[in-house]
Amino acid sequence: MHGFFVSMYLRTTTRRAGDGTVVRYVQLAHNRRVNGVTQAQVLVNLGREEHLDLDGLRRLVASIRRWTGDDEPTGSPSPQGAADRPQADGAFGALRVVDVRPLGAVWLLDGLWKALGVDVALAAGADARRWTSDAERVAFACAAVRAVEPDAATSLHEWVRRCVLVPGLESVTPGEIPAVAALVAATDLDLRLGAICPGRPRPPAALEAFRSTADRVAFGTRVVAWLAASLVATVEHRTGLPWVVVRGDLARIAAVALTGPHGSMTAVSEPTPAQRDLFEACGVGAPPRVLDVTLI
């Protein structure tokens, strides 16, 4: 995705509740030109004005000012005044959006993957000296792509690098995929799926011995497919909704990579109440508002 420069600011929107009262919401937004017309694009919904954590917002503003090298001006407006202004006149510094990727569905599956103990089981069997990436993270990506984009036309390498944000994984080399399948084949992964998801798919029947490495890789690939199906079945069992509905709803939660003269950060769009309900039903925490910050 091509980057573009933005000037971020706080703004408020109003809605009339059912009882006739007016409710104000605060948003972090920036302006961009679309077909020659300037439009506001919301990056983060901060919630209702009366529930806003003003102290936390002041700390965030102070942190960003230190990050951009700006001194706190005397007589600066209150957060309420800042929210009413159409633009913050560079108070947040010049940031550039360099990438936007879907995160929500992958984040949910990752939380269940860890709750089932798959990450611990695979990490225990992996020899870190053999891997350029985290073997457990590559295994998760192999399962996640089957659930999130079962008809993906791109390779796993391109999917991880360009299409989605997989926490803890930046890239996959083609040679790692069969090695991960072999690792999965050698790991006992029945785990606690029976107690967590009674309707889970049956695991593939294991062979007592593999006649070749190809057999081991083929069996590991079937296990990865079973893990993906088990994660999907768990989501459907806990939410009572078809996976395609959950996946589509959570696809709107995005990770936004921002960079500036003093560093970079990855922010996450604010989940809606309905999206938070999906995470809660599955026993997985919603993604944090900021995934990482790197200062130069």
DSSP 243-266: HHHHHHHHTT-EEEEEEETTEEEE
- Over range 119-147, report the average pLDDT: 80
207 CB-near residues (< 8 Å, 6+ apart): 215, 219
- Over range 138-162, report the average pLDDT: 89
Has residue 244 got a pLDDT over 90?
A: yes
CA distance 39 to 113: 39
Beta bridge partners of 34: 37
Has residue 83 got a pLDDT over 60?
A: no
pLDDT at 236: 94
pLDDT at 29: 74
- Confidence tier at 25 by pLDDT (50, 70, 90): confident
pLDDT at 74: 42
| pTM given for the model | 0.66
Q: How many residues does the chain have?
A: 296
pLDDT at 112: 94
Has residue 78 got a pLDDT over 80?
A: no
Name which residue leads in pLDDT, 232 or 48. 232
**The tokens of 75 are what?**
């007589």
- Over range 136-159, report the average pLDDT: 89
- Over range 142-155, report the average pLDDT: 88
pLDDT at 207: 53
**The tokens of 28 are what?**
């972090």
Q: What is the dihedral of CA 98, 100, 106, 108, to 10 degrees?
A: 110
Main-chain dihedrals φ then ψ at residue 13, nearest 5 degrees: -125, 155
DSSP 86-139: S--TTTT--EEEEEEEE-HHHHHHHHHHHHTTHHHHHHHH--GGG-SS-HHHHH
| Sign of CA pseudo-dihedral 192, 195, 201, 205 | positive
CA distance 83 to 169: 36
Asked if residues 257 and 264 have their Cβ atoms less than 8 Å apart, the reply is yes
- Confidence tier at 88 by pLDDT (50, 70, 90): very low
Max CA distance (Å), the chain: 76
- Confidence tier at 54 by pLDDT (50, 70, 90): confident
Name which residue leads in pLDDT, 27 or 146. 146
| pLDDT tens-digit series, residues 206-219 | 555 567 778 878 88
pLDDT at 87: 30
38 CB-near residues (< 8 Å, 6+ apart): 31, 32
Name which residue leads in pLDDT, 103 or 73. 103
102 CB-near residues (< 8 Å, 6+ apart): 163, 164, 165, 251, 252, 253, 254, 255
Asked if residues 222 and 256 have their Cβ atoms less than 8 Å apart, the reply is no
Has residue 85 got a pLDDT over 60?
A: no
Asked if residues 111 and 186 have their Cβ atoms less than 8 Å apart, the reply is no
**The tokens of 281 are what?**
């039903």
pLDDT at 71: 53
Name which residue leads in pLDDT, 33 or 41. 41
- Confidence tier at 43 by pLDDT (50, 70, 90): low
Would you give the end-to-end CA distance of the chain in angstroms? 23
pLDDT, mean over the chain: 76
Can you tell me which residue has the tokens 């990579």? 257
Beta bridge partners of 270: none
